[in-house]
Amino acid sequence: MKVLVIGANGQIGTRLVHQLKEAGHTPKAMVRKKEQVSQFKSKGVDTVLGDLEEDFSHVYQGVDAVVFTAGSGGHTPKSQTKVIDRDGAIKAIDEAEKAGVSRFVMVSALKANRDSGMWSKSMRHYYEAKSKADNHLRNTDLDYTVLMPGRLTNEPGTGQVELSEYIEEIEGRTITRDDVAAVVTELIDRPVTFGKSLDLLQGEDSVKEAISGISQT
């Protein structure tokens, strides 16, 4: 598949682009700044400039699937979280529909679809933004997957995960960015994940086993 990665310059996005390529897919990296292009083009990755705050409809040309893994980052104002994580994500979903791209994977956040009482005051704006974008995606006819990883780390990937529509025990648990990228790479063309919202944490199953274990109903 030719997979558009929105937020390719991010920590998950960069890993995902390279893992998709290694798995035999054709990634298309969307980046916001010209100086970010060379790191992908130098490795033979199709790269396109696009800004979520402007018209980026051109980036969908020729793609089979979209992965949204852009984020405003932890050091930006709350207003920017709304611009990128909420409004940018919603625009990306709408543009996919207009372009006729049916497969859409949203990299969201664990707790985004849970009771707001679980959200800390400092993170409420973030979860609200993620939740609104996720719900917008769920209300489309796209073949979507909302992937909700827990607290992210930069440790080397283990290849061992827990992936489920609801994980009961989540406190204190983490997931590596490597493993998030691995899960996205594996589920991108797996119909069993269509129309699903999935929690993701480190666990005991291989990525393939975890995806195969998802209910088909």
CA angle, residues 60, 66, 69, in degrees to nearest 5: 120
The catalytically annotated residue of 126, 127, 144, 166 is 126
- Return the amino acid letter for 48: V
Q: Read off the DSSP letter of residue 157.
A: P
What is the DSSP-derived secondary structure letter of residue 1?
A: -
DSSP single-letter state for residue 139 = T
Confirm whether 126 is a catalytic residue: yes
| Residue 82 per-residue DSSP state | I
Among 143, 137, 153, 142, smallest CA distance to 202 is for 153
CA distance 204 to 68: 26
3-state secondary structure of 158: coil
| Element of type H or E holding 52 | none
Can you tell me whether residue 171 is helix, strand or coil?
A: coil
Active-site residue set: 126
